[in-house]
Amino acid sequence: MENDIKKIEIITDSTLQSRLVKVIDDTGVSGYTILKDVAGKGLKGDKDGHGISGGFKNCYIMICCDEHEAHKVVDAVKPIINTFGGICIVSDAHWVIHN
């Protein structure tokens, strides 16, 4: 299948979503996908995604881009994740369709 791309996945606290989106936008990637209601568990404890108390929900952001852009995104995201927690992983994929 066609072009090789990198798929970057970021999962961290919801309160960071707007901040992450801003730095990702700045790298000039063509798009990203966001899930807002994400539960989970990590080094900072349980996130049961509950609606009552603030700060117990994650967001998930996925970006498909070429390797060069991927480095830019990772560099932009790294300091945020390092400070506030969460994970960022990268894997290989292929564009099939994108217009």
Ligand X SMILES: Nc1ncnc2c1ncn2[C@@H]1O[C@H](COP(=O)(O)O)[C@@H](O)[C@H]1O
- Least spacing, CB of residue 11 vs other proteins, in Å: 14
- Residues 70, 8 contacting (CB under 8 angstroms): yes
Please identify which residue in 11, 13, 16, 57 interacts with a copy of itself, judged by CB under 8 A.
11
- Residue 5's SS3 state is strand
58 binds ligand X (CB under 6 A): yes
- DSSP-derived secondary structure letter, 51: S
What token pair was written down for 18? 């707007």
Residue in 59, 64, 70, 88 binding ligand X, rule: CB under 6 A: 64
Count how many residues are written for the chain. 99
Task: Find the shortest distance in angstroms from Cβ 15 to a copy of itself.
Answer: 16
Contact range with ligand X by CB under 6 A, out of 15-23, 48-56, 63-71, 72-80: 63-71
Of positions 1, 2, 18, 43, contacts ligand X by CB under 6 A: 43
Q: Is 55 left (phi over 0), alpha (psi -120 to 50) or beta?
A: left
| Cβ-contact 58, 47 below 8 angstroms | yes
Q: Which residues bind a copy of itself (CB under 8 A)?
A: 1, 5, 7-9, 11, 25, 30-43, 49, 58, 60, 64, 74, 77-78, 81-82, 85-99
